């Protein structure tokens, strides 16, 4: 039994980049797809760096998406060793630092009055917005996504298939939902979407479950991705990327599955289309933006799922989820380049290298300023100075 558990854990760590790793016929043959060379283009706008600070050791070479948290004119970040620091959004001035003395795995979550940080050993730590520790409890296993706070509950998603609600006042458990984790899955978890008293969560099995926020009871459960193929790798499905709700419509993408639009009132599909994504979706001006498993960027009509354009010049560059920034679309890549694209046709408008250590975490855009965290802990803020006339 112990051997089976260790094998499953090992596979989860190794399979986060499954599409870039092929099984070679010969042991010394490397079939990894080479990253595309950056193309030249005529810039259509000017990007300005507002400030840059070193916020700690970052994630290093670990596959940890240490998401920052933005609230109340500050951005709060953590490195892999548990150094939690708050900076002023406008200037990058350090406001406070708290040492948690534990390995961190999921970045920072919270709300207007609290912060939550989780560790690789399952620790969940609640802090106030001045960095004072309020309580520490243990989750069932590692937590790879930032916890969320809603209705005086801290909602956490752990790698053993559990979604749990902890009471904000003391960290005690209110309820836990549990599903078995497949033997093969990608390294990571999708962040649940919480709205109007419900939790919408994509699972490692490729299913979407909706839970009552206060009780944890299942409201509906549907398949987004269905395993197919002969080998275990071909049959691997997962939902690890960012999902979102706009009004009463949920948008979600899965690995080796589908991109869907779902009516959350009835639990019925508006439309779906074959699609495979690690990172999930972004919505702006009735257009969905997503990067597929080959790092092709797609713009898709949110009304019907039709393709508007595709940009394939960043193939195999390990790009982040696209995010909207003003009248542009922004992605970062494995060499630390930031790419601004036109939302109308996907052409390149600007490019800046933030840090050659690379960027793993999707840039956070707030008030049309992009906050970018590199693998080695460099945190920088960028804004667009000039927009194209057309």
Q: Could you tell me if 228 and 237 are in contact, meaning their C-beta atoms sit under 8 angstroms apart?
A: no
Q: What is the pLDDT of residues 39-96, one digit of tens each?
A: 999 999 999 999 999 999 999 988 889 999 999 899 999 999 999 999 999 999 999 9
Other beta carbons less than 10 A from residue 207's beta carbon: 18
Q: Does the residue 80 lie in any domain?
A: yes
With 90 as the cut, is the pLDDT of residue 11 above it? no
- The reply to whether 125 falls in a domain is yes
* The pLDDT value given to residue 35: 96
> What CATH number did the domain enclosing 156 receive?
2.40.128.630
Record the tokens describing residue 355, joined without a space.
Answer: 């840090």
Q: Establish if 158 belongs to a structural domain.
A: yes
User: What are the pLDDT digits (tens) for 204-229?
Assistant: 888 899 999 999 999 999 888 777 77
The reply to whether 187 falls in a domain is no
pTM reported for the whole predicted model: 0.90
Least Cα distance to 71 among 282, 344, 270, 364 occurs for 364
**pLDDT tens for residues 184-201?**
667 767 899 999 999 999
Between these two residues, 246 and 235, which has the higher pLDDT value? 246
Higher pLDDT, 257 or 336: 336
Check: CB of residue 175 under 8 Å from CB of residue 215.
yes
State which residues form the domain around 125: 61-178
pLDDT at 321 > cutoff 80? yes
> pLDDT exceeding 70 applies to what percent of the chain?
89
Q: What total number of domains does the chain contain?
A: 1
- What is the model's pLDDT at position 182? 66
Residues 94/117, Cβ–Cβ less than 8 Å: no
Q: Is residue 302 domain-resident?
A: no
């Amino acid at each position: 039994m112990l051997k089976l558990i260790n094998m499953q854990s090992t596979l989860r760590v190794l399979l986060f980049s499954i599409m870039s790793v092929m099984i070679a016929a010969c042991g010394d043959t490397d079939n990894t797809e080479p990253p595309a060379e950056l193309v030249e283009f005529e810039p259509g706008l000017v990007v300005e760096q507002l400030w840059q600070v070193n916020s700690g050791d970052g994630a290093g070479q670990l596959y940890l998406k240490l998401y920052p948290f933005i609230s109340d004119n500050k951005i709060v970040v953590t490195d892999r060793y548990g150094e939690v620091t708050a900076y002023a959004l406008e200037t990058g001035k350090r406001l406070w630092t708290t040492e948690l003395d534990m390995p961190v795995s999921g970045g920072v979550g919270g709300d207007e009055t609290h912060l939550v940080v989780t560790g690789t050993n399952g620790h969940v730590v609640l802090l106030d917005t001045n960095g004072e520790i309020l309580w520490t409890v243990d989750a069932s296993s590692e937590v790879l996504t930032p916890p969320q706070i809603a209705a005086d509950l801290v909602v956490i998603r752990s790698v053993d298939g559990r979604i749990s609600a902890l009471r904000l006042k003391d960290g005690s458990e209110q309820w836990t939902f549990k599903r078995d984790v497949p033997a093969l899955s990608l390294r990571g978890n999708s962040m649940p979407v919480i709205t109007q008293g419900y939790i919408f969560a994509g699972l490692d099995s490729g299913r979407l479950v909706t839970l009552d926020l206060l009780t944890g009871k299942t409201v509906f459960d549907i398949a987004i991705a269905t395993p197919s193929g002969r080998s275990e790798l071909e049959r691997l499905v997962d939902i690890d990327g960012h999902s979102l709700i706009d009004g009463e419509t949920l948008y979600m993408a899965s690995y080796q599955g589908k991109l869907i639009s779902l009516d959350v009132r009835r639990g019925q599909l508006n439309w779906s289309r074959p699609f495979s994504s690690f990172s999930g979706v972004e919505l702006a001006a009735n257009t969905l933006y997503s990067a597929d498993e080959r790092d092709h960027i797609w713009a898709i009509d949110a009304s019907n799922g039709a393709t508007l354009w595709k940009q394939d010049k960043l193939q195999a560059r390990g790009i982040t989820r696209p995010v909207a920034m003003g009248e542009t679309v922004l992605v970062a890549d494995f060499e630390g380049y930031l790419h601004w694209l036109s939302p109308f046709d996907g052409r390149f408008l600007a490019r800046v290298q933030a840090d050659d250590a690379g960027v793993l975490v999707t840039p956070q855009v707030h008030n049309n300023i992009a906050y970018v965290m590199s693998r080695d802990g460099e945190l920088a803020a960028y804004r667009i100075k000039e927009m194209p006339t057309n």
